[in-house]
Structure 1
Amino acid sequence: MTTISLLQAPHPDLTATPEVRMLLKPQCADRGVVDGAWWPRTRDLARELPSLVAVLDERWGRITRVAVNPRSWLEIPKKVPAGIHTVSVGWFDAEQDPDDLLLLSYTVGRWDLLIVPPECDPERASWLMCAAADVNNRQSVRELLAGPRSVRHTTHAAPWEAL
């Protein structure tokens, strides 16, 4: 299991994006339905997506497109800046689960991340992220979100911890 944390250098700008909270399955694993989980801080996709893509570009290769369900976000920008390139953003209403983030790369392929709702309490968010990143887990986004609400997953590390 991989924990990725994007740490920002000290900067006087208090609006700087904080670290990315995510857990990913190992690259060599038979990934199942989801490849990990992402816990954004808000439902502002234009603000949240650039730092996520920057981290994933390094891990998976250049992310070129992202698809979301419009029910989960306040607005869906057509494009977002991501480092030295721009990522196209699209949406699917009926075809895509509201809590699924679809990421595409020309060179590497497709990934699906469970979107942990920003308003989720930390204990539940930790359980969801660990469950989504568990290599033995074959549950869908919907099944993960319907899972146990009080039982902690076998992985005990907090998903936002740096390695």
Structure 2
Amino acid sequence: MTSNPLTADPVEAPRGALRLTVKPASALGGSVDGAWWPWSVDPVAEFPPLIAELAVDGDIRRVCYHLDSWGRTGRGLEVGEFVVWMEGFHATQPDTVTLIRADYTRVRLLVVPPGTPDDAAHAVLRSTATAGATETVEDILARNGLVAGTNPVHAAAAARERPLAADQHLWDARVRAALQRPVLGPTRFRGNNPAR
């Protein structure tokens, strides 16, 4: 569902419908351009309908999201006839996603956690469309009784990632050990080709 909360309250969406509010073009600005309430944290299921709704002729090229807020996905996601690059970062604000167009303009959305009660989620969708230029994601969530960064999915996602992180530390230790081994004999290189 895409609605303009300035004129109407969002209605109950059937399961799977897009629950999205985007500020009118005249009101764009501030910390976010709208709000999105996905059904799950599965990027493969959730991002294609969002991208299709916001794209103009396939102009969404990249999606930036917080790694601990979403499930795993590949680097590229096919949406229609286009491939959109999925870029997960730990430094990205957990309660947002940013869609980047071919002309490098950005659409930054506040993400309402999937398990949020209906009344609170609808309040966030409505208030995001009227948020001022100085209101932060934290301000919008707090005004509606939610705390930024407390998405219950964050803890579950972090727990899923721990085994991978432990493997990464083991691999890093092995690489460090290999790099610290002494090199036997002097090594001479000519140009860029060490085989000469």
* Counterpart for residue 43 of structure 1: 41
CA shift, 1:18, in A, is 2.4
* Distance in structure 2 (CA, Å) of the matches to 1:129 and 1:90: 25
Work out whether residues 30 and 135 of structure 1, in 8 Å CA contact, stay in contact via their aligned partners in 2: no
Give the equivalent residue in structure 1 for 2:75: 78
Q: Which runs of 5+ in 2 are unaligned?
A: 4-14, 147-196
Call closer, same or farther: CA 1:30–1:39 in 2, change over 3 Å: closer
Indicate whether 1:27 and 2:25 are aligned. yes
Moved more, 60-69 or 34-43: 60-69
User: Which whole-Å CA distance do the structure 1 matches of 2:66 and 2:96 have between them?
Assistant: 7
For 1:41 and 1:23, the matched residues in 2 are separated by: 15
Q: 2 CA distance for matches of 1:97 and 1:46?
A: 20
Q: Does 1:122 align with 2:115?
A: no
Runs (4+) off by over 6 Å: none
Question: Which structure has the greater CA radius of gyration?
Answer: 2
| Pairing partner for 1:91 from 88, 96, 109 | 88
Offset from partner CA, 1:51-88 (integer Å, 9 cap, x none)? 11000014x96110000001111213311121221110
SS at match of 1:31: coil
CA contact (8 A) 2:58 2:82 kept: no
Secondary structure, counterpart of 2:26 in structure 1: coil
The size of the alignment, in residue pairs, is 135
Q: Is the Cα–Cα contact under 8 Å of residues 61 and 108 in structure 1 kept in the other structure?
A: no
Query: For residue 114 of structure 2, what is the amino acid of its counterpart?
Result: P
Which among 57, 64, 83 is matched to residue 61 of structure 2?
A: 64
Matched residue, 2:51: 53
Matched, 1:144 2:140: yes
The answer as to whether partners of 1:4 and 1:21 remain within 8 angstroms in 2 is yes
Counterpart CA distance in 2 for 1:49 and 1:22 is: 12
Greater helix percent: which structure?
2
> What is the match of residue 101 of structure 2?
105
Identity of aligned residues (%): 31
Superposition TM-score, scaled by structure 1 size:
0.74
Checking the alignment, whether the CA contact within 8 Å between 1:131 and 1:137 is kept in structure 2 is no
The one-character-per-residue Cα deviations of 1:77-128 (angstroms, maximum 9, x if unpaired) are: 31112122111000221x2111110110022601110000000001000011
Q: Which structure would you say has the larger RCO, counting Cα contacts within 8 Å and 6 or more residues apart?
A: 1
